[in-house]
Amino acid sequence: MRIPLRRLAVATCSMSMLAVLAPAAGTALATESYSATAKYGKRVGYFTQWGVYGRDFQVKDLDTSGQAAKLTHLNYAFGNVNAEGECFTGNVPGEADAWADYARPLDAENSVDGVADTDTQALAGNFNQLRELKAKHPGLKVMISLGGWSWSTHFSDAALTAQSRKKFVSSCIDLYIKGNLPVDGARGGAGSAAGLFDGVDLDWEWPGSQGDTDTVYRPEDKKNFTALVHEFRTQLDAYAKSQASRGKKARHYDLTAFVPAAPNAIDAGFDIPRIMRDFDFVNPQGYDYHVSGQATTAQQSALFAPGDFSVDQTVRDWVRRGAQPRKLVVGMPFYGQGWTGVSGGGDGLGQPAVGPAKGTYADGYEDYKVLKGLAASGAYTVYRDRWNGSAWIFDGTTMWTYDDPKVLKTKSAYIRKLGLGGAMFWSMDGDTADGELTAAVDKGLNGQR
């Protein structure tokens, strides 16, 4: 599906686009107005467990970059589900990394509070740093995200029966909400991570639809996912109530999910009116509309793209099926999709390509902070579709499609205009050292230029 675009090389992204943000006929998206000083919307960022290694992106970097101060939720990616249908952790290559989670000692330089971990403390690693981050930013909620593309393998089995759902949810609450981590030398033990996580984010990719090569899926996943969501809501509320009855401060545990953009995946796995009763909010995918594995270059995250996937179409698809706009937190990419061997000339968009462009960690994928450098290098031309809200760079051979601060400010204005729930970012390590993408969304959601 290819459409003509209005393209402007190195153009200024005009906010005049807001004039066309009114809801389409028949779609219940009520516009709302907010003062320019109001703090509007949720800001949800994903922190990747594995990013502390090759990327050297530590929890402390969320603080020093200024990102943490602008977030409402931080999703820790990911927790896994075993073949027995239970949440688990350990040191199993490719399956779990307790070393990164809570065993790895951090020195003073890499610690949020500037104090080195000791050999005897029960909680170290990312989990302890997240606890320190929350102490420094009391308004920040930390969520455990379960699954993801690679670790959704056993979700369908875990959700299959009422008994398996109860066992699955109970195991996740025991491990992450109650904080009963497995003993790993001096680390872990009963209650060692108690109070760290403020809720659960479900990243089952995807109920009722094909996901990763080994991920099980069934036609009955849709009703089982609905029941699983309700089981999480029931057990989280029951645990909160039990804590309050013992004199502890009453609290609410958030329940959220990462959800798809493709209509067929939505319809196959999501009974939207029912699940939205139990979710605090969901994060619709707002990126990977086109990916570097395709033979033709295309936008990966445009705000508007008539006749194609877009953020606006994703939002309308969810609302049309029964989602409340205020519970839709729009996904935004902190990375780009890229192609090389692009032929056909022009600006590179909509042209045949040989394959994915070379990336730092994976071909076809590159962090925004790297793409920013390429855009400024003089080797690439920056193009903008000012009307439809997208940007890309092209050097005559290699093309990258990505979101920069100008695009994200436009998307943030769209979120405010339509009364949506906020913005979600995958993932925080793709931003610059001073968090310029996070800051752009913060300003946009606050109504600032």
User: Among the options 132, 205, 231, 366, which is catalytic?
Assistant: 205
d(CA 187, CA 307): 53
For residue 431, which phi and psi values (nearest 5 degrees)?
Answer: -75, 170
Residue with tokens 């491990």: 175
Question: Are the C-beta atoms of residues 91 and 101 closer than 8 Å to each other?
Answer: no
Nearest to 401 by CA among 326, 361, 347: 347
Tokens of residue 285, six digits: 């995918």
Instruction: Verify whether residue 205 is a known catalytic residue.
Output: yes
d(CA 116, CA 308): 51
Nearest to 191 by CA among 182, 201, 202, 203: 182
What residues are annotated to the active site? 205
